[in-house]
Chains A and B, each alone.
Chain A
Amino acid sequence: MSPFSPQLEARFRELMQRYPARRSALVPMLLYAQDELGWLTPEAVRRIAELLGETELAVREVIGYYSMLRTEPAGKYHVQVCTNISCLLRGGDELYAHCERRLGIGHKQTAADGVFSLEEVECLGACSWAPAVQVNYDFHQELTLEQLDKILDAYAARARGADPSQGQGGAGSPGPRTALPVDGSGSRGEAALGTRVQEKS
């Protein structure tokens, strides 16, 4: 029994053919599996090992190396605050401390209601738009504390709005899904980067 959707299974089959050896697909497969399930469940690890003809231990050894891969659930919205040098100089530490206070959680912790999790992360590649926060895959850049609050408000509202649909998967449904880019917050990756760079150049 695969823990993955038929679409993801098909994607994996295509991925494994892209390389001289199918094992090359391992890291992308793990990340895409996590995108679908929210975290790398034991069933996910077993299935990926099976598809690649590798042992589960070999797969777990790789999971342990990559900082984005997790073997425990995170929040529906994973808030990643950069505090590396460029962000540090423009208030990254303050953004992170503010998230800790507001969300009531610390580094790599998940709030009790499962909406937010928090992580202090290394450089996100947003140095010239510092300070930066990434929520799931969305970049939010050149943030003030007020803007950060508005963004977190928007995600919290979205989580509340999404509540009724959460039961649809039934008893066997996977944990919280990693959300795709949020349009409503006005900071979707491409658009946000585009407008900001334009303003600044």
Chain B
Amino acid sequence: MTKPHPLETRVVSRRFDQPDAHTLAGYLASDGFRALDKALAMAPEAVIEEVKASGLRGRGGAGFPTGLKWSFVPKQSPREKYVLCNADESEPGTCKDRLILEYDPFAIIEGMLIAGHAIGARRGYIYIRGEYRYLLDRMERALAEARAAGYVGKNIRGRGFDFELHAHTGAGAYECGEESALMESLEGKRGIPRLKPPFPAVSGFMGGPTVINNVETLASVPAIILNGGAWFAAFGPPKNGGTRLFCLSGHVRQQGVWELPLGFPLRKLIEDIGGGLRDGARLKAVVPGGSSTPLLPADTAWNIHLDFDSVAKASSFLGSGGVVVLDESTCMVKFALRIMQFYRHESCGWCVPCREGTQWLQTSLTRFHNGGGRAADVDLMKEVSENILGRTFCALGDAAAMPTLSILQHWRQEFLDHLAGKPCPFGARTSAAGAH
């Protein structure tokens, strides 16, 4: 459990300090399934309108408006429709969905039921990354309780609404967090992304119209239905409705996950909640939204607000809410290399620019870091990165290119310093994780 911080606004995390919220009795005692009752009494279109009014945007990273996504699902479909929950949380820097799965699993179930009613789906799956086994177990227990009490299954709440819901484990693959790759994986295949369009709302899991949302997105829905879209929207600036969980990590005194209204100043998160940098160090850079997002140099980071539009104006993304703080001792060559090792390892190999690009970028970065780097490679890496951008089926290629380009832009001199034999604070070891 986590106690609220005075600067937090707890909506999706409102049950994080309730010891029994992961049980049905505990959930029912704190407004559990009241939103479902309310939603089932509403027309599906009205539910979608309420979610649209909330301004809720996807919390998995892309930030797509949730209500709009739901509205793309055709009313009539010859194929079965599905609701999927993306609990494949794997973006480096991100560890928030884990807390919802642990402390408030029924909110995810309730959000999925409401989504099912809104789009006319009768079946859903919660895709949980394989490493989160204890959370899979917890979700299975929650589902069993919900089923036994008539919240999952046939004729839910006596309103003629049928919805079957199961948890499903992954087995280790970042790429399966990409929505179409997740569907491939859920069909028992390798997690290779699909060419879009068609988008999942038209043709998704098993070729049926599918809504797929992140854990935090779905868990935010019950509070929105219960209190109204306008209530949720009012927490954040226009077009950036609500609150969200921010995961603070790196060189701060106090790591942790806190729920803040969108538009919260990054400086306040680092200094007032995170206690500032460790050992009185000075800030060098911030990863604002998971490892895919371009890094912000200190002077930009100190003046930015954490909402989609403000971070976009600073040429980065709010992403998945993973805020990683780097102090001045950080070697940016090593940091860029570790990010690239990750994407090289996780590239599914389907698209040539991503498969080959990440390999060559890793090779160049390794040379810079371990010795034998070439000055001309600084520009070559930029060119390779730019040739990945926008040329792949899914966003993994972009995710590898974007942070690399930002590091090359802002810390070019560090690459050249490595050629001149300046010492590296991280030493010479390179990760084995990217080497297979």
Contact = CB atoms under 8 A, between A and B. Distances in A.
Interface residues of B, number: 74
Given A30-B171, A83-B338, A83-B431, A125 B132 contact: yes
Contact of A88 (B169, B187, B338): B338
B335 A120 contact: no
Given A24-B186, A65-B190, A125 B94 contact: yes
Contacts, number: 194
Nearest to B433: A120
B93 A66 contact: no
A96 B430 CA distance: 11
A175 interface: no
A67 B1 contact: no
A108 interface: yes
Contacts of A188: 134
Contacts of B406: none
B255 A128 contact: yes
A127 interface: yes
B432 A120 contact: yes
A8 interface: no
Interface in A137-170: 137, 139, 142
B92 A84 contact: yes
Interface string B77-111: 00010000000011111110111001000000000
Contact of B342 (A108, A123, A201): A123
Nearest to B165: A18
A66 B130 contact: yes
Interface string B150-193: 00000000000000001011111110000000000111111100
A27 interface: yes
A21 B79 CA distance: 14
Interface stretch (B230-238, B261-269, B322-330): B322-330
A26 B326 CA distance: 41
A13 interface: no
Nearest to A100: B432
B169 A201 contact: no
Given A27-B169, A83-B338, A128-B256, A93 B429 contact: yes
Interface string A17-42: 01111011111101100000000000
A197 B339 contact: no
Contacts of A28: 168-169, 171
A201 B94 contact: no
Contacts of B3: 198, 201
Contacts of A194: 1, 102
A137 B134 contact: yes
B169 A107 contact: no
Counting from the closest, the 5 A-B pairs by CB-CB distance are A68-B172, A26-B188, A67-B172, A107-B432, A189-B134
11 contacts: A31-B169, A62-B188, A67-B171, A90-B249, A122-B346, A123-B94, A123-B291, A125-B94, A125-B97, A125-B129, A188-B134
